[in-house]
């Protein structure tokens, strides 16, 4: 018996590749996105308009968006840290954009050189302009359980930030266990707090598998009503500003797990496995 739909938001071409040591040519990034486009994803994050000085692997994001074979029914997303990045994403033809904030002050300063309050101010003009264009904006929250600089993060802090981003116009809030420190108990406590601020249907889980607990955290999230999960094909990536973050949960493993539980993902496992092989060959 089917348990209903679950969506995997594929972040491999962005979050997966940004931490790789080898400089990856645009042509290889395009090939990976094109392979993923045929797997059945509704949303694929494949670009990041951050300064190449800070995240060199994301150089050429505009060329990636120009070079991919766009499939009907697939939205191609780009990460935008500020108004300049947002404008570049618009010019490149991104179908949706994402902004990213942190639930901890230490990580916020390290990651975007701003306090949490300053980051919210920075995102306000993006959300205002996007509203007039009907451009979907997704909100990422990093360090929803623990921060590599500040330690444990209070669930109330995550809920407060999620509430602000949702009120500003983010259509979905992705909750990131950035260093993979989350356990089923800590993820549950965090989600119970956030669910009081943002409808659970507008939440997504973004769980790194650094400590081998991502699948258990997904199961806990399913039990609390979450039905969208971020994953990176081939298990690539991490965050260059979070020591120990390497290890996004692998899309092919998440898809197989959800299918085995009885959820419908719409993802072709065989095509995802091919994409995973391609992604791993790019290391």
Element (H, E) at 45: strand 43-48
Query: Are the C-beta atoms of 267 and 228 separated by less than 8 Å?
Result: no
Whole-angstrom Cα distance, residue 275 to residue 50?
25
Residue 144, phi then psi, degrees to nearest 5: -80, -10
- In the annotation, is 239 catalytic? yes
Query: Are the C-beta atoms of 64 and 47 separated by less than 8 Å?
Result: yes
| Cα torsion through 171, 186, 114, 57, rounded to 10 | -80
Task: State the maximum Cα–Cα separation within the chain, in Å, rounded to a whole number.
Answer: 50
E strands present in 49-189:
75-79, 96-102, 137-142, 146-147, 151-152, 172-177
Whole-angstrom Cα distance, residue 99 to residue 161?
13
222 Cβ contact list (under 8 Å, min separation 6) = 6, 261, 263
**Residue 206: is it exposed, middle or buried by C-beta count within 10 angstroms (0-12/13-18/19+)?**
buried
Query: Are the C-beta atoms of 45 and 65 separated by less than 8 Å?
Result: no
> Comparing C-alpha atoms, which of 7, 2, 1 is closest to residue 226?
7
Whole-angstrom Cα distance, residue 79 to residue 140?
10
Tell me the catalytic residues: 239
């Amino acid at each position: 018996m089917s348990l209903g739909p679950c969506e995997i938001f594929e972040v491999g071409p962005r979050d997966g590749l940004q931490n790789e040591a080898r400089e990856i040519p645009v042509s290889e990034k395009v090939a990976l996105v094109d392979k993923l486009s045929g797997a059945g994803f509704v949303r694929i994050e494949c670009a990041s308009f951050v300064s190449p000085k800070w995240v060199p692997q994301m150089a050429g994001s505009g060329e990636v968006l120009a070079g991919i074979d766009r499939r009907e029914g697939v939205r191609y997303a780009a990460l935008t840290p500020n108004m300049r990045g947002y404008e570049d994403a618009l010019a490149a033809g991104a179908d949706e954009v994402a902004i990213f904030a942190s639930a901890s002050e230490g990580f916020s300063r390290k990651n975007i050189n701003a306090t949490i309050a300053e980051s919210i101010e920075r995102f306000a003009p993006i959300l205002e302009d996007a509203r007039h264009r009907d451009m979907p904006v997704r909100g990422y929250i990093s360090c929803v359980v623990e921060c590599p600089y500040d330690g444990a993060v209070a669930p109330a802090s995550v809920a407060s930030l999620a509430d602000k981003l949702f009120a500003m116009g983010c259509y979905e809030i992705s909750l990131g266990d950035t260093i993979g420190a989350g356990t089923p108990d800590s993820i549950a406590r965090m989600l119970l707090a956030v669910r009081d601020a943002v409808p659970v249907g507008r939440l997504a889980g973004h769980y790194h598998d650094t400590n081998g607990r991502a699948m258990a955290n997904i199961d806990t999230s399913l039990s609390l009503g979450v039905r969208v999960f971020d994953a990176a094909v081939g298990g690539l990536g991490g965050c260059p500003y979070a020591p120990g973050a390497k290890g996004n949960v692998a899309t092919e493993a998440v898809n197989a797990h959800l299918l085995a539980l009885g959820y419908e993902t719409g993802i072709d496992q065989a095509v995802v496995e091919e994409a995973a092989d391609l992604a791993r060959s790019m290391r």
